[in-house]
A and B are shown apart, each in its own frame.
Chain A
Amino acid sequence: MNLDSKIPEGPLAEKWDKHKFNVKLVNPANKRKYDVIVVGTGLAGASAAASLAELGYNVKAFTYHDSPRRAHSIAAQGGINAAKNYQNDGDSVYRLFYDTVKGGDYRAREANVYRLAQVSVNIIDQCVAQGVPFAREYGGLLANRSFGGAQVSRTFYARGQTGQQLLLGAYSALSRQIAYGKVKMYTRSEMLDLVMVDGKAAGIITRNLITGEIEKHAAHAVVLATGGYGNVFYLSTNAKYCNATAAWRAHKKGAFFANPCFTQIHPTCIPVSGDYQSKLTLMSESLRNDGRVWVPKTVEMAQRLRAGQIRVQDIPEEERDYFLERKYPAFGNLVPRDVASRNAKQMCDEGRGVGSSGLAVYLDFAEIIKRTGADSVAQKYGNLFDMYAKITGENPYEQPMRIYPAVHYTMGGLWVDYNLQTTIPGLYATGECNFSDHGANRLGASALMQGLADGYFVIPYTIGDALAQTPPKPVTTEHPAFAEAEVAVRERIAKLLSINGTRTPDDFHKALGHVMWEYCGMARNAEGLKHAKAEIQKLRREFWSDLKLVGTETEMNQALEKAGRVADFLELGELMVDDALDRNESCGGHFREEYATEEGEAKRDDENYAYVAAWQYVGDNQPEVLNKEELKFENVKLTQRSYK
């Protein structure tokens, strides 16, 4: 199939303005005749639902949470990028665009990224006007900090709780529209399938998580803002409920899934402490502004440390290897996430890791505390230090943090065109749910930016273009396709409940996570990936023959909810492996051991792999079909990334 990305003609800087002029408009009186479903109420969903309702559309918003204020956007710590150049340090829309394309290792679409950089400045204005309490300087103006992968300070923040403050801003805008009756809010409501009528998205099937009731909802357009799929790995920094079900159900109805193997491993997470571990906690990347990453210079010293024969405080300066500063003098501790993660793994592989498991490196604040005082450090990072102390029982003001990489974000997602429309007409994907802006690696403080850009400033324009070409007839769930989809959902739930085996959903999830982390994690190779594929297929068969559930579908049944999500992860995991096997190069978060430079850095193959891999579902247990969207770089010169 020919993938039309619908990128507008003309110079890069003019594409979005021209496109906004060229899209068809729905006249104000007609907007109330259109219904739009928005699934997910994180940054991308809440901002879209509020903005669409403000324009006059009737919005139905869905979340599986008890409130639209809980989505995992809330946990983003560090900040949000915007090309304001308030710091007079040489930032510009073009520089943010350039940094993002380069940071993404040249696997993102130029036009989308440029638009993202353009609207980034509007996001800050919007959030300030909502009352989001961003950090301020003494003169009353907005403060900025620097972040990995950039040499300018363009990150806006609200202490270590930027995601919370931005989400509460979007939630407040959404709440206002709920009060006006323009948004009908469905909480504790999980999307379990997409309904297609005449090849177009016509609605969704949901399950009420309290009563178990299966509901049908129709609309003229459906927006999925359902986040990423990092929980395929079981252990990740994602919230426990984060899942791929909505996106995966849409994929199985015809939406292509792009670059599933592009997953981001975040370098600064609290290490695993035991096999009971239910999730991993991120320590914001902003800590790398002031923390210095190191391990002991020698394996012998690391061994003594792990055995408890020596304390970290007693290791003399000359015995410490600040490996990021040593290897990348220009960027130092602020190299992009993928580079920082791989280097930490390399140190641990060499036997120089710390902590009892040896799977950790130090992030040390001694120098900044000495230079500016503990109070000043607390002002900046207080909540992060407190969180670290609560989880580990160690005081980071007195001894360095132990950190290790963990799965954090997924750059891949549903394939969308410039309008954020998937390959299914009438179905849109925004935020982490789509694949569009981060290429093979996302820069820090760019996820919040993309979620809000899509929701506040892109989808309100682009969805109108499609709706203007749709007759404003009332929608119903009368079409037989709704009944069919409902029956399929009920049958699947009944099947899950009837297996009556011995293993719990979590048990299967952990087993899948182990396979994914070992063979499709920070470093991958063809042999391991082939092994993983067989393992996942085996797990999937076991799941459908040995799953243990109790209770019924007509009550609150959290294990049943979990089982449905794990079933989808067991299919998506295999596609991630297929994608990683197809991509015979290393780029960004995708590091194939066979494709590395002599210095061990990722080696891209622009000749053969400068494409978006968009996978097409063609039937259960059949190989998916690969469709390629060639990436054209007309403005940025492809170079080997260097942060030295």
Chain B
Amino acid sequence: MAGSNPNAKPMNLTLKVWRQKNRNAEGGIVDYQVKDISPDMSFLEMLDVLNEDLLRKGEDPVAFDHDCREGICGSCDLYINGRAHGPEKGTTTCQLHMRKFSDGDTITIEPWRANSFPVNKDLSVDRSAFDRIIQAGGYVSINTGGTPDGNEIPIPKDIADRAFEAATCIGCGACVASCKNASAMLFVSAKVSQLALLPQGQVERKTRVENMVAQMDKEGFGACTNIGSCAAECPVGISLENIAILNREFLAAKATSNNLA
């Protein structure tokens, strides 16, 4: 209606959706038909249509995670036609619109696949491993109050910009889902880089990277083999350069470690 493609006709689609009752149940692909899908709908609005239809028929709607639907909260996490967040580059599932598909298409929708992200139900997975990695050191250890004036810590603009680029990670897990090793290196490296670049992060620079990497390994994420699918599929464009920074930070920390833990 109001989009770029006013003449585009509503679409009929076949969906192949992963259904799994809970973490311990066996799952499988179930086929559904959805009709009259507007090209201006978002992908999740298309799933809303499916779910309303299922609920009216007395069938269990498909569970999936979502919230802001603006591409920033990092909740949505669908593996669409074999790609994290679907076919459009630099786009979260919630910002993917149906104009990227055609009438008659068959769309396969799966949850993130990684041992460290167990399935809660259907398309919803448990990403709390990411939180535990941040808890291991993804912060500057300061309490509230007693901090110096903001302008007493001048930061060159290019450094601030690079730190910002790394800090924009939304924690969705697409990097893990896209990696054949289910590695979390891009996620971990984004936080390590952000704080390693900034003067505020210097005090704990070594212990931070050591502890975060140790937690990453403990969570069972795979190793990085430098394929780069994580960065290629990252919806917010976190650069592979961050992994190089992480490796450098980790080696430097280990070589001169004062972390006795």
> Which residues of A are in contact with B by a Cβ distance under 8 Å?
47, 50-51, 54, 65-72, 74-75, 84, 86, 122, 124-142, 158-159, 161, 163-165, 168, 171-173, 175-176, 178-179, 185, 187, 210, 239-241, 271-274, 276-279, 281-282, 308, 355-357, 360, 386-387, 390-394, 402, 456-457, 460, 502, 504, 506-507, 548-551, 555-556, 558-559
Q: Would you mind naming 28 contact pairs between A and B with Cβ atoms under 8 Å apart?
A: A65-B67, A75-B70, A75-B72, A122-B147, A125-B150, A127-B150, A128-B200, A129-B142, A130-B200, A131-B198, A131-B200, A133-B161, A133-B164, A138-B157, A141-B151, A165-B167, A175-B131, A175-B134, A175-B139, A178-B131, A272-B2, A278-B48, A390-B91, A390-B95, A393-B99, A460-B144, A506-B52, A550-B59
Contact B131 A69 (CB under 8 A): yes
Residue B78 interfacial (CB < 8 Å): no
Contact B67 A136 (CB under 8 A): no
**How far apart are the CA atoms of A127 and B148 in the complex, in Å?**
11
Return chain B residues, CB-CB under 8 Å to A549. 55
Closest-CB distance, A308 to chain B (whole angstroms) = 8
**How far apart are the CA atoms of A397 and B154 in the complex, in Å?**
33
Q: Which residue of B lies closest to A556 (CB)?
A: B121
Closest-CB distance, B195 to chain A (whole angstroms) = 5
Query: Which of A68, A278, A402 is close to B2, meaning CB atoms less than 8 Å apart?
Result: A402
Residue B160 interfacial (CB < 8 Å): yes
Query: Which of B61, B67, B141, B163 is close to A239, meaning CB atoms less than 8 Å apart?
Result: B67
Give the total of B residues in contact with A, Cβ under 8 Å: 84
Return chain B residues, CB-CB under 8 Å to A281. 69-70
Main secondary structure of the interface of B (DSSP, over half): loop
Contact B140 A131 (CB under 8 A): yes
Contact B63 A558 (CB under 8 A): yes
**How far apart are the CA atoms of A142 and B154 in the complex, in Å?**
8
Q: Which residue of A lies closest to B96 (CB)?
A: A390
Q: List residues of B (161-178) whose CB comes within 8 Å of A's CBs.
A: 161, 163-164, 167-168, 170-171
Contact B67 A240 (CB under 8 A): yes
Residue B127 interfacial (CB < 8 Å): yes
Q: Which residue of A lies closest to B163 (CB)?
A: A133
Known contacts A173-B139, A175-B131, A274-B40: A129-B68 contact under CB 8 Å: no
Which of B3-11, B225-233, B238-246 lies on the face that meets chain A? B3-11
Return chain A residues, CB-CB under 8 Å to B219. none
Other than the known A122-B145, A133-B198, what 20 A-B pairs have Cβ atoms closer than 8 Å?
A: A70-B73, A126-B147, A128-B150, A129-B147, A130-B139, A130-B140, A141-B154, A142-B150, A165-B164, A165-B167, A168-B167, A171-B134, A175-B139, A239-B67, A273-B1, A273-B40, A274-B38, A279-B69, A386-B90, A556-B120
Return chain B residues, CB-CB under 8 Å to A51. 143-144
Query: Which of A129, A158, A241 is close to B140, meaning CB atoms less than 8 Å apart?
Result: A129
Contact A139 B48 (CB under 8 A): no
Contact A239 B73 (CB under 8 A): yes
Contact A72 B138 (CB under 8 A): no
Return chain A residues, CB-CB under 8 Å to B153. 128-129
**How far apart are the CA atoms of A47 and B143 in the complex, in Å?**
11
Closest-CB distance, B23 to chain A (whole angstroms) = 8
> Which residues of B are in contact with A by a Cβ distance under 8 Å?
1-6, 21-22, 38, 40-42, 44-45, 48-49, 51-52, 55-56, 58-61, 63, 65-75, 88, 90-91, 95, 97, 99, 120-121, 124, 126-128, 130-131, 134-136, 138-145, 147-151, 153-157, 160-161, 163-164, 167-168, 170-171, 194-195, 198, 200-201
Closest 8 interchain pairs by CB? A393-B4, A140-B154, A172-B139, A129-B147, A133-B164, A128-B150, A179-B135, A136-B160
Main secondary structure of the interface of A (DSSP, over half): loop
Return chain B residues, CB-CB under 8 Å to A134. 150, 160
Return chain A residues, CB-CB under 8 Å to B45. 276-278
Closest-CB distance, A113 to chain B (whole angstroms) = 22
**How far apart are the CA atoms of A282 and B71 in the complex, in Å?**
12
Contact A72 B67 (CB under 8 A): yes
Query: Which of B70, B138, B163 is close to A387, meaning CB atoms less than 8 Å apart?
Result: B70
Known contacts A171-B134, A240-B69, A556-B63: A390-B139 contact under CB 8 Å: no
Return chain B residues, CB-CB under 8 Å to A50. 144
Return chain B residues, CB-CB under 8 Å to A54. 143-144
**How far apart are the CA atoms of A176 and B139 in the complex, in Å?**
7
Q: Which residue of B lies closest to A138 (CB)?
A: B157
**How far apart are the CA atoms of A556 and B150 in the complex, in Å?**
44
**How far apart are the CA atoms of A363 and B132 in the complex, in Å?**
43
Return chain A residues, CB-CB under 8 Å to B120. 210, 556
Return chain B residues, CB-CB under 8 Å to A140. 154-157, 160
Contact A276 B49 (CB under 8 A): yes
Return chain B residues, CB-CB under 8 Å to A161. 72, 168
**How far apart are the CA atoms of A165 and B148 in the complex, in Å?**
19
Query: Which of A122, A179, A357 is close to B136, meaning CB atoms less than 8 Å apart?
Result: A179
Closest-CB distance, B10 to chain A (whole angstroms) = 10
Return chain B residues, CB-CB under 8 Å to A135. 160, 164
Query: Which of A67, A390, A394 is close to B128, meaning CB atoms less than 8 Å apart?
Result: A67
Known contacts A70-B75, A555-B22, A558-B63: A176-B141 contact under CB 8 Å: yes
Contact A559 B201 (CB under 8 A): no
Q: Which residue of A lies closest to B74 (CB)?
A: A70
Return chain B residues, CB-CB under 8 Å to A187. 128, 131
Contact A66 B48 (CB under 8 A): no
Return chain A residues, CB-CB under 8 Å to B75. 65-66, 70
Closest-CB distance, B241 to chain A (whole angstroms) = 16
**How far apart are the CA atoms of A50 and B141 in the complex, in Å?**
12
Closest-CB distance, A179 to chain B (whole angstroms) = 4
Return chain A residues, CB-CB under 8 Å to B150. 84, 124-125, 127-128, 134, 142
Closest-CB distance, B106 to chain A (whole angstroms) = 21
Return chain B residues, CB-CB under 8 Å to A74. 68, 72-73
